[in-house]
Amino acid sequence: MTTATTTAGTGITDPPSLDTVHQCDNLNLLRRLGAGTVDLIYIDPPFNTGKQQRGTNRSDDELEEPSRYADSWPTMSDYLSFIRPRLMEMHRILKPSGSMLLHCDWRSSHHLRLLLDEIFGAECFVNHLIWSYGLGGSSPRRFARKHDDILFYGRSEAYYFEPPRIPATSARMRGQTKKATDVLDIPSINNMAAERTGYPTQKPLALLEVLIEACCPADGVVADFFCGSGTTLVAAANLGRRWIGCDVSAEAVKIVQQRLGQSR
C-alpha cells in the first residue's frame, strides 16, 4: 500500500520529496526540482474550454459540494503565457532519457505542439497520440468529437520507450498480442466505475498504466504537475514507479490522498 503526504504553499521541502503530493502552484514546485531528475512527465492541464469544470458527488450518501475548477483564459495567448514557463521548467527537470506526455484537445493541440517544438526542438517530437474514448454527445453541425490528443516528446533521441502490447483482434492472431498503435482505444470512466471519484475530467487508470509502462523504466520517476484526481500517481504507484504530484486545489489533494491510501 502506498500513502501520500502533502505539503502546501511555501512548505515544499528542498529538494521536494518523492512519493508526495504537493498542494501549491506547480511553478513553485518545478523551480525546486533539480535538472535531469524525472523520467516521465504526464500532464493533463486545463484545456481552456471557457467553462467551469464541475464534477459529481462520489456517492449518494456524500453531501459535499462537487469538485470544480475554472477552465478559462481571456485569450489563447493568455493561456499559452500561463503554460509556457511551466513547460520550460518541465523540459529542464527531465533526464536525457526522459519524455513528456501532454494531454490536450482540439482547442489547443496545434498551439501546444508549436510551443513544444520551440522548447524541446521539433526533432524531439515522437508521436501525436489519439485517445479514443467513444462516449459523449454528437452535433448536427460537425463530426462527433470522440477523442483527446496526447503530444509525446522525448528529452533527447535517447528517450526510453518500451512498446506496449494490446490484445490482437484478427482471427489469425486470436489469443496473441500486438504492438499498440498511436490510437489508444480505451473507454472513458462510466458513472458506475469503481475508480470514479467524481472529480471533473478524471482519466481512466487503464490509459495511464499503458503510457507509464511504455515511457518510464521500472526504476523511474513519474511526475504530474496538474494531478487533479491523482490517476497518474495511482497508476505509477500500482506499477512500482516513484512519483511526485502537484495540484493547487485542496480538494484534489484530498482525493489523491484517499486514492493512494487504497492503492495496491
- Tell whether 250 is covered by a domain: no
The whole-angstrom separation of Cα 57 and Cα 29 is 30
- Tell whether 54 is covered by a domain: yes
The secondary element (H helix, E strand) that includes residue 11 is: none
Structural domain containing residue 113: 38-219
The CA R_g of the chain, rounded to the nearest whole Å, is 18
- Tell whether 113 is covered by a domain: yes
Q: What is the CATH number of the domain that holds 182?
A: 3.40.50.150
- Tell whether 25 is covered by a domain: no
Model pLDDT, residue 102: 98
The residues that bridge with 54 in the sheet, in sequence order, are: 68
- Tell whether 2 is covered by a domain: no
Residue 258: which residues within 8 A CB-CB, separation 6 or more? none
- Tell whether 120 is covered by a domain: yes
Model pLDDT, residue 69: 55
> Dihedral of CA 216/211/25/244: which sign?
negative
Q: Are the C-beta atoms of residues 214 and 40 closer than 8 Å to each other?
A: no
What value, to the nearest 5°, has the Cα angle with vertex 16 and ends 12 and 22?
Answer: 55
Please give the chain's pLDDT, 264 residues, in tens.
Answer: 455 555 544 457 778 899 999 999 999 999 999 999 999 999 999 977 766 545 455 444 343 554 555 767 999 999 999 999 999 999 999 999 999 999 999 999 999 999 999 999 999 999 999 999 987 788 999 999 999 999 999 999 999 999 999 888 888 998 899 999 999 999 999 888 999 998 888 999 999 999 999 999 999 999 999 999 999 999 999 999 999 999 999 999 999 999 998 654
Q: What pTM does this model have?
A: 0.89
Tell me, what DSSP letter sits at residue 240?
T
- Tell whether 262 is covered by a domain: no
Q: Are the C-beta atoms of residues 43 and 58 closer than 8 Å to each other?
A: no
Length of the chain: 264
- Tell whether 100 is covered by a domain: yes
How many domains are contained in the chain?
1
